[in-house]
Chain A
Amino acid sequence: MQLFKNEKGNKDYTIIVGCGRLGANLANTISDEGRNVLIIDKNKDAFRKLSPSFGGISIIGDATDFDILQEAQIDNASVVVSVTDNDNINIMVALIARDLFQIKCVISRLQDPERECVYREFGIDTICPAVLSAKEINRILAEMSTSEAVSSEVDQ
C-alpha cells in the first residue's frame, strides 16, 4: 500500500522527524499547501501541536529505528527534515536517510553550531537557529544604527 498517491508521478513527499514547535509548524505549513507530509515523534502528546486541519500522517515511534522509517515509506520520500531537540539524533537520522535510503534532500536542525563539521563532511544541509538568530539580531542592530545616524544627520 502506498501512503500517498502521486497524481503526476513526480515525488512530493516530505518526512519530518520530531514534532516540536519547529516540526509541527513546518508540517502544518506543508499540509496547508496541499502537499504530502508525514511526521514522526516518539511521544504521542507531541502531535497536539499539529493544527486541527493537518491533513498529513503522524507516526509514533523512534525515527532512528529502521522499522519505523520503513513504515513511514522513507523510500518514497523526496525530502527528509530532522528537527528533534537532540542534535545527535538529528545527525543519525540525516545520515540514515541519506546513506541507507538515498534521499537526495536532507535538512537538519542543529542547536550546537560546533557540530556542523560532521554534517558538512556528509553534505547535509543544516539550519542552525542560534546562528540565524544572531545574524538577524545583528541585522536589526545595524539597521537601527544606520537609521540613528541618518536621523542625527537630519537633526543637524
Chain B
Amino acid sequence: MDINTGLLAIGAGLAVGLAALATGWAQGRIGSAGAGALTEKPELFGSILIMLALPETLVILGFAVAAMIILLLKAGG
C-alpha cells in the first residue's frame, strides 16, 4: 500500500467521520429543543421526529463520498 492509498483511506474516514460529528452536533441541539417542546405539546411528536431526522442527510452524504473513495481505491487495485 503506497502513501496515496493511505491518504485516500484517511480522506474516506474523514468524510464520514466529520459528517457524523456535524450530524451529531445538529441532532443534539434539535433533540434538546424538541424534548422541551414535547413536554408541553406531545402532539408535535411527528414534526419533531422529522426535524430530528433531517441532519442525518449530512452523514449519508459523507458516507456516499467515503464509499466513492473506497470504490475508487478498489478500482485502482
A and B form one complex: no
Query: Which of A's residues lie within 8 Å of B, judged by CB?
Result: none
